[in-house]
Structure 1
Amino acid sequence: MKAIWNGQVLAESEDTLVVENNHYFPAESINSEFFKASDTHTNCPWKGVASYYTVEVNGESNKDAAWFYPSASDLAKNIESYVAFWKGVEVVK
């Protein structure tokens, strides 16, 4: 699977995990040069507190376009630190 935005591959992995129709990419599969930590956090009742990244490619920013669970709940430990995408980031085979 590949996550693509603004013509760049943000992440690529054969080992994504699908939860609630979102592909979660292993942390080591993201191209960290395109990711900037965000102060945004949200709470999922069963996964825990999510942290976000703003994606920056070719001088353009996509605020909070990627999220992950740095300390996932026991029910979601399998996706802890994995990264998922939204806000126009295309996830394709």
Structure 2
Amino acid sequence: MSDMVQVAIITGVITLVNGPLVITLISKNSKKNDEIKELREDVGKLFKLVDRIAAGLTIGLKNDKVIFEAFRKNSINGDSEIQDKVMDDYFTECTVEGFKSGREE
């Protein structure tokens, strides 16, 4: 075989091997980037849920404070009505966010 034919055969084999190899590497990298993007979105949702739980716990602790203050003073003041409104607003916000959770924002 002549040198020109050997070069052509080697070049053809390298081209056939490198084509699928490059495509495989690119698709793996693309898949990895998609997984990272999906994980970042999930982390964002988790932070939002933790913030919502923290807000609920804060409201619960404020409710306890209002109740115990009313017990100490043996009277009901306007704080309980304010706390009732705060809880209603929180539950409304949670309900609205719950309806949005399955959709793109």
TM-score using structure 1 length = 0.21
Structure with the higher strand share, 1 or 2: 1
The structure with the greater share of residues assigned to helix is 2
Max Rg structure: 2
TM-score normalised to the size of structure 2?
0.19
